[in-house]
Every structure is written in structure tokens, then in C-alpha cells.
């Protein structure tokens, strides 16, 4: 069966664009080559920046091939790499591919050998290497004069030589692969950067929030626990399809939970740490903390939803909460979640005016106020978490 190379190439390119993990991409390509073009095996040597070496990905193909395990990782001073990184040797790579039989011809050409001292030695080493890999064709891929990788092909299963159009196909393919891999690497780097930034953001916010928390002697670890339980409840609500939120919701919730009590920094320490009951004026002062907290992060546009979480986490489902007396579903979900976990954590820790409840008692207390103080969906998820031992 004759292969429609153009179609294969287009298919390959189409697949490549969808794959942004270099390793997956290479496996895909190698498998495709072995499968479609019916060679015994194929492999790709790909440069790995971190390791400063070339890593081998091989398809065993139909016939199998034993690569010595030490050759999975190849140094830049390996003969194969050295041959293809030396610009003098570009002249021997016909239209982009080096065929095994060509090596013998170069070795017979005394004039070539006399011009470059190392050429003979490199060629002999290269030939040995190709023998070891049972490779009959090598196709290098470059990116900005840097050798990105080498595609090598075993013999065809039919035993025949590779035709020029087949080689051209592989050269174009190797080029597409190099382009795709370069892109995939850049993507990985960007994704890693995003992850790193996100982690740094969350950890810094956590550190600063805990510092501010530390001013309130009775709430040690409160913020962290509220954040953990809030995330667990929300994951349950998402998994069970009881809420429909966008992908940034968990990030926003994370920040809102970390910062929900940040406004307490504006409340005098003697009120926060008072052992006796609070009078009306002191109570009023404490009740300002959601508004103060929202005010601190108000200028940050990207935190719009997190600000809602901070501002409304003391609203009650029946409209009797503060600061605005919002009712039912007018209370943003992000705040309704924190309201439940904030109360649950307060109940399960010792406070100046009463000892801690145990988990069971606290969950029972919260359930009692479902639909009154708390959002029923959120309460339900808390109860389920408790029953599964997730609290």
C-alpha cells in the first residue's frame, strides 16, 4: 500500500498541535512512524536543557531492539551529537538526512578527510553508534543553530531502501516535530511559571494572613483550618454537580478564606482578646471587620470575587447577618461557604467565654441552623464530609 505522505504529514501536524507535553509528543510521533511507514523501529534523541544531554526515546517497533541502558542519556560530546553539531558536516547531510551508506563514501574520499582532522574519527564512531542503534537514517533537527534532536530510523520491514520521497517526508516530519517540541517546551516553561507564581502568591498571602491572625490570641491556626475545610466543601459541591462554578472559583475561595479575618487588624487588640463578654460598642467594633477587610483588598480588581467572600462571610441565610443583611442566594456562594466553615472552626476551638465543642456537636449545631443562619447546600456538604471522616 502506497503511503499518502502529504496526508500523513498533515495528520501528524494536526496531532502535534494538540499535544503540549514534549514526552507525549515524541512517543506519538515515534509510534506513528513505526506503524505507518513500517520500519523495524524508530527513535528520537532529544536535547534536555536541565540535564544538558540528549535523551533517547525509542519505539521497539515490530522487530524489537535492545538499546544498552546506559545509552538512554547521551552526552553532548557523544560522536553522533558531535557530528551533527559541527557546521563543517552540514555538507554531508543530503537535504536534511544522513543515510548510513553515505558514511562509507565519505570515508573513502581522502580529500574530505584531509581537510578536517577529526572527521574520520567522528565518522567511524558515528557508524558504530548507528550500528548499535540499528539505524540506517539520521535526521537532525535544529532550532536557531542549536541541535534540538535527531530522528533515527531502523530498516524497513520490507528490507528495501528508503526512497527520496520517503526521506523528504521524514525530513519535513522531523522539522515539524522540532517546531512542536520547541513549542511544547515553551509551554511547559510557561505552565511551570504559572504554577510557581500561583504557589508563591498563595503562600505569601497565607504567611501574611497568619501574621495578622497572630494578633488575635484565641484563633491560632484558625485561618488555615477555615481555608482547608472551605476548599474540601467546595470540591464536594463541584464533584457532585450541586454547584456550577468556573475554574478560578477554588483559587478565589482560597484567597478569600485566607483573608476573611484580615479586617481584624483594624480592631483594637484589647477588644479582640477580651476575656469577659463584649458590650454593644465592642461588639459593633468587632462587627466592622468584614468591611475593613474588604476595604484592604478592594483596589485589587482581579480579587473581585474574593473580596465578596471577605465582605459577606458574616451574612445569615435569613437576612439577619451583617454588614448588609443580605438574604438567601443574594449572599455570594463564596461567602456562604466561609460562613459555615468559620462558625464550625470557632465552635471546635476553645474561646474565652466557652470550651470547644467536639466535631459531632459542632456539625449538629450547624445543621440546626441550616436555612436560618447557613446556606443549606453548604451545610449538607459539611455534614457529608463529617460522615466520611473528612473533617
Shorter beta-carbon distance to a copy of itself: residue 79 or 262? 262
Work out how close the CB of 348 gets to a copy of itself at its nearest, in angstroms, rounded to a whole number. 25
Among 265, 278, 286, 385, binds a copy of itself (CB under 8 A): 265
Site string for a copy of itself, 127-166 (x = CB under 8 A): ----------------xx----------------------
Tally of helices (H runs) and strands (E runs) in the chain: 16, 6
Shorter beta-carbon distance to a copy of itself: residue 258 or 331? 258
Q: How far apart are CA 344 and CA 365, in angstroms?
A: 9
Work out how close the CB of 58 gets to a copy of itself at its nearest, in angstroms, rounded to a whole number. 26
Work out how close the CB of 31 gets to a copy of itself at its nearest, in angstroms, rounded to a whole number. 20
Among 85, 112, 183, 348, binds a copy of itself (CB under 8 A): 183
User: Contacts with a copy of itself: how many residues (CB under 8 A)?
Assistant: 50
HSE (CB half, 13 Å, CA atoms) of 55?
11
A 10 A CB-CB count for 169 gives 21
- Check if the beta carbon of residue 84 is closer than 8 Å to that of residue 145: no
Among 5, 71, 92, 187, binds a copy of itself (CB under 8 A): 187
Shorter beta-carbon distance to a copy of itself: residue 113 or 202? 202
Q: Is 383 a residue that touches a copy of itself (CB under 8 A)?
A: no
What lies within 8 Å, CB to CB, of 186 at 6+ separation is none
H-helix or E-strand containing 73? strand 73-74
H-helix or E-strand containing 206? helix 164-213
Shorter beta-carbon distance to a copy of itself: residue 17 or 124? 17
| Cα dihedral 158, 161, 164, 165 in deg (nearest 10) | 10
Which range of residues in 42-50, 60-68, 117-125, 173-181 is near a copy of itself by CB under 8 A? 173-181
Nearest CA to 172 among 12, 27, 47?
A: 12
Site string for a copy of itself, 285-314 (x = CB under 8 A): -----------xx-xx-xx-----------
Concatenating the DSSP letter of every residue in 116-163 gives: -TTHHHHHHHHHHHHHHTT-SEEEEEEETTEEEEEEEE--BTT-PPPP
Q: Report how far apart the first and last C-alpha atoms of the chain are (Å, whole number).
A: 63
Q: Is 176 a residue that touches a copy of itself (CB under 8 A)?
A: yes
Site string for a copy of itself, 49-78 (x = CB under 8 A): ------------------------------
Shorter beta-carbon distance to a copy of itself: residue 168 or 288? 168
Long-range CB contact pairs, 19-24, < 8 A, 24+: 19/180, 19/184, 20/183, 20/184, 20/187, 20/188, 20/191, 21/184, 21/188, 22/46, 22/181, 22/184, 22/185, 22/188, 23/57
Q: How far apart are CA 60 and CA 37, in angstroms?
A: 14
Q: Is 6 a residue that touches a copy of itself (CB under 8 A)?
A: yes
- Check if the beta carbon of residue 33 is closer than 8 Å to that of residue 153: yes
Site string for a copy of itself, 190-229 (x = CB under 8 A): xx-xx-xxxxxx-xxx-xxxxxx-xx--------------
Give Cα separations from 32 to 15, 63, 170 (angstroms): 11, 15, 12
Which range of residues in 11-19, 278-286, 342-350, 379-387 is near a copy of itself by CB under 8 A? 11-19
Question: Which residues contribute to the site for a copy of itself (CB under 8 A)?
Answer: 6, 9-10, 13-14, 16-18, 143-144, 168, 172, 175-176, 179, 182-183, 186-187, 190-191, 193-194, 196-201, 203-205, 207-212, 214-215, 255, 262, 265, 269, 296-297, 299-300, 302-303
Amino acid at each position: 500500500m502506497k503511503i499518502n505522505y502529504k496526508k500523513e504529514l498533515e495528520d501528524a501536524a494536526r496531532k502535534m498541535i494538540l499535544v503540549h507535553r514534549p514526552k507525549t509528543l515524541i512517543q506519538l510521533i515515534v509510534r506513528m512512524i513505526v506503524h505507518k511507514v513500517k520500519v523495524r523501529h524508530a527513535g528520537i534523541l532529544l536535547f534536555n536543557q536541565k540535564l544538558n544531554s540528549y535523551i533517547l526515546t525509542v519505539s521497539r517497533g515490530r522487530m524489537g531492539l535492545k538499546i544498552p541502558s546506559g545509552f538512554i542519556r547521551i552526552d553532548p560530546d557523544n560522536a553522533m551529537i558531535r557530528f551533527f553539531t559541527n557546521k563543517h558536516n552540514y555538507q554531508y547531510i543530503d537535504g536534511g538526512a544522513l543515510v548510513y551508506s553515505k558514511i562509507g563514501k565519505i570515508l573513502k574520499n581522502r580529500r574530505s578527510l584531509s581537510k578536517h582532522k577529526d572527521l574520520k574519527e567522528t565518522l567511524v564512531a558515528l557508524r558504530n553508534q548507528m550500528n548499535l542503534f540499528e539505524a540506517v537514517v539520521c535526521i537532525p533537527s535544529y532550532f536557531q543553530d542549536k541541535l534540538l534532536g535527531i530522528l533515527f530510523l531502523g530498516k524497513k520491514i520490507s528490507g528495501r531502501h528508503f526512497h527520496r520521497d520517503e526521506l523528504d517526508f521524514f525530513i519535513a516530519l522531523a522539522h515539524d516535530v522540532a517546531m512542536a517540541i520547541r513549542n511544547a517546551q515553551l509551554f511547559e516553561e510557561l505552565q511551570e511559571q504559572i504554577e510557581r507564581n500561583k504557589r508563591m502568591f498563595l503562600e505569601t498571602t497565607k504567611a501574611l494572613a497568619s501574621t495578622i491572625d497572630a494578633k488575635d490570641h484565641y484563633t491560632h491556626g484558625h485561618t488555615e483550618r477555615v481555608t482547608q475545610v472551605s476548599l474540601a466543601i467546595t470540591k464536594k459541591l463541584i464533584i457532585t454537580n450541586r454547584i456550577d462554578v468556573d475554574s478560578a472559583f477554588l483559587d478565589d475561595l482560597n484567597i478569600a478564606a485566607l483573608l476573611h479575618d484580615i479586617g481584624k487588624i483594624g480592631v483594637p487588640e484589647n477588644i479582640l482578646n477580651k476575656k469577659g463578654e463584649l458590650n454593644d460598642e465592642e461588639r459593633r467594633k468587632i462587627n466592622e471587620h468584614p468591611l475593613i477587610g474588604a476595604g484592604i483588598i478592594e483596589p485589587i480588581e482581579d480579587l473581585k470575587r474574593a473580596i465578596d467572600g471577605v465582605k459577606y462571610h458574616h451574612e445569615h441565610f435569613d437576612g439577619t447577618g451583617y454588614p448588609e443583611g443580605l438574604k438567601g442566594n443574594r449572599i455570594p456562594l463564596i461567602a456562604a461557604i466561609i460562613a459555615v466553615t468559620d462558625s464550625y472552626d470557632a465552635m471546635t476551638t476553645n474561646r474565652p467565654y466557652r470550651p470547644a465543642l467536639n466535631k459531632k456537636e459542632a456539625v449538629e449545631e450547624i445543621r440546626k441552623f441550616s436555612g436560618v443562619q447557613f446556606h443549606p447546600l453548604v451545610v449538607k456538604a459539611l455534614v457529608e464530609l463529617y460522615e466520611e471522616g473528612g473533617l
